A and B are shown apart, each in its own frame.
Chain A
Amino acid sequence: MSTVKSKGTVTIAVETCKGCELCIPACPPAVLTMSSTVNHLGYHYPELADGCTGCAACLLICPDFVFEVFREARSPAAGAAT
């Protein structure tokens, strides 16, 4: 049972990941860790823990187009920076 609330989430296309690990330090809430198993290319890939904010930092830094980002709808006053 999770105690950390996730305000967003990401999908991870693990089979296209080349394991560069750029997303790991890029994640502000630090909820991405590299897997212990490998994909069909032989690379480790990121796995998501609870606490994602949907900030899209991982998507912006990923060279292999692995992430898709979803965020909970918020009031316009608390909108993200443009």
Chain B
Amino acid sequence: MKLVGQQKPELLLTETHHMCPGCGEPLALRGYLEAIQELGLSQRAIAVAGIGCYTSFSMTTDVDLVQALHGRAPSVATGVKRMLPDSIVFTVQGDGDMVNEGLQEVLHTAARGEAVTCILLNNGVFGETGGHMTATSVIGQRTKNTLDGRDADYHGYPILIGDLLAQLQGAAYVARGSVHNAGAVARTKRMFKRAFQTQMDGGFSFVEVLTMCPTGWFIPTSEGPDYMSATLGEVHIMGELKVDGVVKSTDELHEENVRKAAEMEQALARGGIDT
């Protein structure tokens, strides 16, 4: 028997962490840490962490790391990259951090076309701060302060940050992954690789990952992936929204998603996905 999947990424110091059961963030963490490792960037990578549940990984992630204030990570990343142009700089932010607290930072960083990668872990809820809605919560989504679901008349409409950034000329690569099943997790890891590659080519890249937060959504952990696909996933459409400066249409994304999901099913049935 040959080892085909390691228990934890090499760049993670310990497998124990403080995330709730069923959390999607460690799945995204595995994706980008393995992408960095496999691209041979572990000695050049510098992470800039925002504020959120994922910030607790700052102490157990074996890459250099700067802690930014709420929402300011893209600006800090800009500074790091300009002083250390050979480094690979990426931010890790949640939707509350990036889209509520620091929307202008990521917009301006993308518009300037900074050679950094911004990673957004989007669950539509302020998980760490107490469970209230964020700017990306979709209409009808239940959070602690929208117990009857987000109401467009009262709370307004969600910001589809990936689609917004894709429209900016400065953004070279924009993708939206998801961690609702094994195939999507594997596909999201490829998005991370492409994003880091884009940065090495001198462009701004952005990867949004839809992650489960069963605690914030008041649902059993096992229902997290299906609930996410039916709510967030219906509005924030998964896929590579912009590749080499070309923006894809929603129809193209849907078509690609159906094809990729079928490919992943076949790969699993044949015997496995390479992790």
Contact = CB atoms under 8 A, between A and B. Distances in A.
B10 to A, nearest CB: 12
B162 interface: no
A67 B27 CA distance: 13
Nearest to B266: A81
A1 interface: no
Contact of A19 (B21, B26, B267, B271): B21
The secondary-structure label for the interface of chain B is mixed
Contact of A53 (B181, B186, B263, B271): B271
Nearest to B226: A25
Contact of A72 (B2, B8, B22): B2
Nearest to B28: A63
Nearest to B5: A69
B15 A80 contact: no
15 contacts: A8-B1, A8-B271, A11-B7, A18-B22, A25-B222, A26-B181, A53-B271, A54-B271, A55-B272, A59-B5, A64-B21, A70-B4, A71-B271, A71-B272, A80-B270
B12 interface: yes
Interface string A35-66: 00000000100000000011111111111111
A22 B222 contact: yes
A78 B182 CA distance: 20
B225 A56 contact: no
Nearest to A68: B7
B271 A60 contact: no
A73 interface: yes
Interface residues of A, number: 42
| Contact-residue size bin, chain B (C-beta under 8 Å from the other chain) | 35 or more
Most A CB within 10 A of own CB, among B19, B25, B263, B272: B272
Interface in B7-65: 7-8, 12, 15-17, 19-27, 30
B225 A22 contact: yes
Contacts of B272: 8, 53-57, 71, 80-81
A56 B5 contact: yes
Contacts of A60: 5, 27, 182, 185-186, 273, 275
A13 B6 CA distance: 12
Nearest to B20: A18
B268 A18 contact: no
Contacts of A13: 7, 15
Given A59-B5, A71-B271, A81-B267, 15 more contacts: A11-B7, A16-B15, A19-B21, A19-B221, A20-B21, A22-B224, A24-B222, A28-B269, A53-B271, A56-B273, A60-B273, A63-B21, A65-B12, A65-B26, A71-B272
